[in-house]
Amino acid sequence: MAVIENSKLTVVGAGAVGSSTAYAALIRGSARHVVLYDIATEKAEAEVLDLAHGTPFTGSSDISGGSDISAVEGSHVVVITAGAKQNPGQTRIELAGVNARILKSMLPKLLEVAPNAVYVIVTNPCDVLTVLAQEDTGLPPERLFASGTLLDTSRLRWKLAERAGVSSSSVHAYIVGEHGDTEFPLWSAATIGTVPILDWETPGHPRMTQQELDQIAIDVRDAAYKVIQGKGATNYAIGLSGARIVEALLRAENAVLPVSTVLDGQYGISGVALSLPSIVGNGGVRTVLDTPMDDGELASLHHSAETLRQSLATLGI
């Protein structure tokens, strides 16, 4: 796909997630200019150099950056990955206090140089931080949202594709709610091709049962803990997820992606950010879709919202 001329992406945070996001964006040609910004000068400059050395093998995208905030100037999209990450066994919510402080100090400086950008929050707990950032900046919810359960949805589609023996692009299933322990799949609307998930027949295998699907949902929910236990961070799949959101924005795709926006009455929920299938295109989240849910799914959505509301309350928001 052609790189949009003059499009500019800034990735804030040159750690495992930020540098992987920049790498994915360069390889996929998500934006013409990619900037990697971090307060840690040496680290940021080293990552930029290493990425730049590979650009003769990528398309026409270029990379620059460092610790000078002026590099961010004029960005169309800013993806925020800066902040503390989970230690093995730690939940995302436990990062809230420290990352809220980092975000609060960073946002005014970013907005000064990139006042018209769309802001995508990846730093965890991304749903909680989105509410905080939205209140702090006053940006409309469509222009400031979190990557939310796009990564979890990708994990789910990969697992179902493996089980069903089909391409993951033929698996139509979503994880919604909190990007965290209360997230859940919308099984009632899940299909492979056009076949409802429980009716799918894989040659040589029994049909999937609800019990098997429940276990898949648990594995997806706990996937990050397993990866962090083994290698200290999750970075490649979130890097690709971030690049995918950037493409939907800069190419005005109107793609349906599960991202997290501050809700305003959808399903009776307000003032909390959580993920629902949404149309992402020019300028941000254009519509949060009114996706049909069964009673169990609605109850899970409200449970997720309540959990997030409690986390916000402990932060005094």
Ligand X SMILES: NC(=O)c1ccc[n+]([C@@H]2O[C@H](COP(=O)([O-])OP(=O)(O)OC[C@H]3O[C@@H](n4cnc5c(N)ncnc54)[C@H](O)[C@@H]3O)[C@@H](O)[C@H]2O)c1
- Site residues for ligand X per CB under 6 A: 12-18, 38-40, 43, 81-86, 95, 99, 102, 106, 122-124, 126, 147, 151, 179, 233-234, 238
- Least Å from the CB of residue 233 to ligand X: 4
170: buried, middle or exposed (CB in 10 Å: 19+, 13-18, 0-12)? middle
DSSP 40-58: -HHHHHHHHHHHHHHGGGS
303 is catalytic: no
CA distance 233 to 186: 27
Q: What share of the chain is helix, strand, coil (3-state, %, to 5)?
A: 50, 20, 30
| Cβ–Cβ under 8 Å, residues 111 and 103 | no
Nearest to 175 by CA among 203, 208, 213: 213
Is 178 or 297 the residue whose CB approaches ligand X more closely? 178
- Least Å from the CB of residue 135 to ligand X: 19
Is 32 or 244 the residue whose CB approaches ligand X more closely? 244
Is 16 or 243 the residue whose CB approaches ligand X more closely? 16
3-state helix/strand/coil string of 65-113? EECCHHHHCCCCEEEECCCCCCCCCCCCHHHHHHHHHHHHHHHHHHHHH
| Cβ–Cβ under 8 Å, residues 67 and 44 | yes
CA angle 200, 219, 299 (to 5 degrees): 80
Is 43 or 251 the residue whose CB approaches ligand X more closely? 43
Residues linked to residue 64 through DSSP beta bridges, in sequence order: 35
CA angle 236, 242, 248 (to 5 degrees): 140
- Least Å from the CB of residue 9 to ligand X: 16
- Report the chain's terminal Cα–Cα distance, integer Å: 42
Is 83 or 284 the residue whose CB approaches ligand X more closely? 83
Catalytic residue chosen out of the listed positions 53, 76, 172, 179:
179
Is 81 or 134 the residue whose CB approaches ligand X more closely? 81
- Least Å from the CB of residue 260 to ligand X: 9
- Least Å from the CB of residue 195 to ligand X: 29
Which residue in the shown chain puts its C-beta closest to ligand X? 15
- Least Å from the CB of residue 38 to ligand X: 4
Sheet holding 171-172, edge to edge: 171-172, 191-192, 195-196
> Hunting for tokens 């436990």 — which residue is that?
94
Residues recognised as catalytic: 179
